Amino acid sequence: MTSSPLGDYQPGSTVLHRLPVGAKLLGLVAVSVVAVAYRGVPSTTGAILLAVLLCGVARVRLAHAVRALRRLLVAMALLAAYQVWQRGAEHAFVVVGALAALVLLATVFTTTTSVERMIDAITRWLQPFRRFGVRPDLVALAFSLMIRGIPLTLQVAAETRDAARARGLERNPRAYLTPLVIRVVAHARATGDALHARGIGDD
């Protein structure tokens, strides 16, 4: 059973689930900065070990972690090949290893943080900007809609591609892109209507 549109969030009660969103994000940023600023075999090895340890603590499913890495497999393979060719195997390990560690740490974050908690955190963080006319609730909602929009857009893209294929037009980009854009815009308008109907944005 998954909870996030990307299938990442796993409900649970581990210490990482209970940590505040801000603390987790700060931790992620800190490790990212260290991995980039102090590039080397020790820092990359440390980042990988930390990522694996936190995956265990957060009880990230192995398949989940593998899927997260697989999304970047081609990019990582190309990057590794280029680095080996240009600067040797050790540098390739440093660069690609750090990238893999950060992907795993980001997976730990999304696995242990529901979108609702992220939205609440964003709402809280934006409170000081109210005086400048920022509406924290609306910004947070926009963030949520963006996340919700990803699988929807992928679904519409798949349907549009199938429709083009069914008409023998799979090689015609217009037959694919035009209905895709139209449907995505129509969905955005319908979502606007639905939010309006629910009274969201009225106040």
Q: Give the nearer residue to other proteins in terms of CB position, either 155 or 172.
A: 155
Class of residue 45 by CB neighbours under 10 A (exposed 0-12, middle 13-18, buried 19+): middle
Dist CA 50 CA 32 (whole Å): 12
Verify binding: residue 151, other proteins, rule CB under 8 A.
yes
DSSP letter at 19 equals: S
Q: Give the nearer residue to other proteins in terms of CB position, either 88 or 201.
A: 201
Handedness of CA 137, 191, 154, 8 (dihedral sign): positive
Q: Give the nearer residue to other proteins in terms of CB position, either 139 or 152.
A: 152
Strand intervals (E) in the chain? none
Verify binding: residue 117, other proteins, rule CB under 8 A.
yes
Q: Which residues contact 15 (CB under 8 A, 6 or more apart)?
A: 57
First to last CA, the chain: 35
Quick check: 180 and 154 in contact, CB under 8 A? no
**Among the residue ranges 1-9, 52-60, 76-84, 161-169, the one whose residues contact other proteins (CB under 8 A):** 1-9
Verify binding: residue 28, other proteins, rule CB under 8 A.
no
Contact set for other proteins, span 182-201 (CB under 8 A): 187, 190-191, 193-200
Name the minimum Å distance from CB 189 to other proteins: 8
Among 59, 91, 135, 148, binds other proteins (CB under 8 A): 148
Q: Scanning the structure block, which residue is given the tokens 């899927």?
A: 67
Q: Give the nearer residue to other proteins in terms of CB position, either 15 or 194.
A: 194
Q: Give the nearer residue to other proteins in terms of CB position, either 78 or 194.
A: 194
Dist CA 162 CA 182 (whole Å): 16
Name the minimum Å distance from CB 177 to other proteins: 21
Residues that bind other proteins (CB under 8 A): 1-5, 7, 9, 11, 114-117, 120, 137, 141, 144-145, 147-148, 151-152, 155, 187, 190-191, 193-200, 202-203
